[in-house]
Structure 1
Amino acid sequence: MPPKQDLTHRDIYALADDRGRVKIGSSNDVWKRKDNLQTGNADELRLVHAEKVERSIASKVERGARKILKDNGHSGVREWINDVPDDDARDAIRTAHDNQRGRNQK
């Protein structure tokens, strides 16, 4: 029997490929999402970071992390952003999450 799905949280993740691109996204199951994205992708994908966030703010955290990276000079198309070091991807997700938690506490 599969484990029960957490209905209160989602994972915001950063997956990197061999060309230095990073995908910022959200999922209920990061490993399943990675496997789905890997299918048909010539580059090996690796998980850089995943962070559980409250479901009510997950989409804002996801968009916020991408905006932080783009505001810091990284170009990209939708969820995929070019030339992002692992630490930058991780920091963008953490910062976006902190920003949204702070807004919810006001």
Structure 2
Amino acid sequence: MASTSTTSVFTLIVLLAFSLSNCSDNEYASARIESCRGCSLNRLPEVKNFIFQDVPLYDNVEFKPISGAIPELVLLNNNDEEVERIQLSRLNRKECNELLVSKGFTASKPPKDEI
């Protein structure tokens, strides 16, 4: 009888783990770039170009200006809850675009190449 109980508990744990791994809440539904419009952003021309030229081309990605904030990518689930936050200041424009694509976001039009 103990082995039946152990098997049932094991099966329940496996089913729970499987359902959690396939839950849509674990996916990135949208993203938000938070940053000041100037300040530190003026010292990061590659990130600034990414924010103002490339971000508008992506589906489900928006820019939210926050006074004094360092540039960060905020990834959100289907419930609009923050799932992950990534600082962008160490990345160049190409790396910022690659980051969005690696997280599953697509651009309506391809971003312009760096000049």
State if a TM-score over 0.5 links the two structures: no
TM-score computed with the length of structure 2 as normaliser = 0.27
Q: Which has the larger radius of gyration?
A: 2
More strand by share: 1
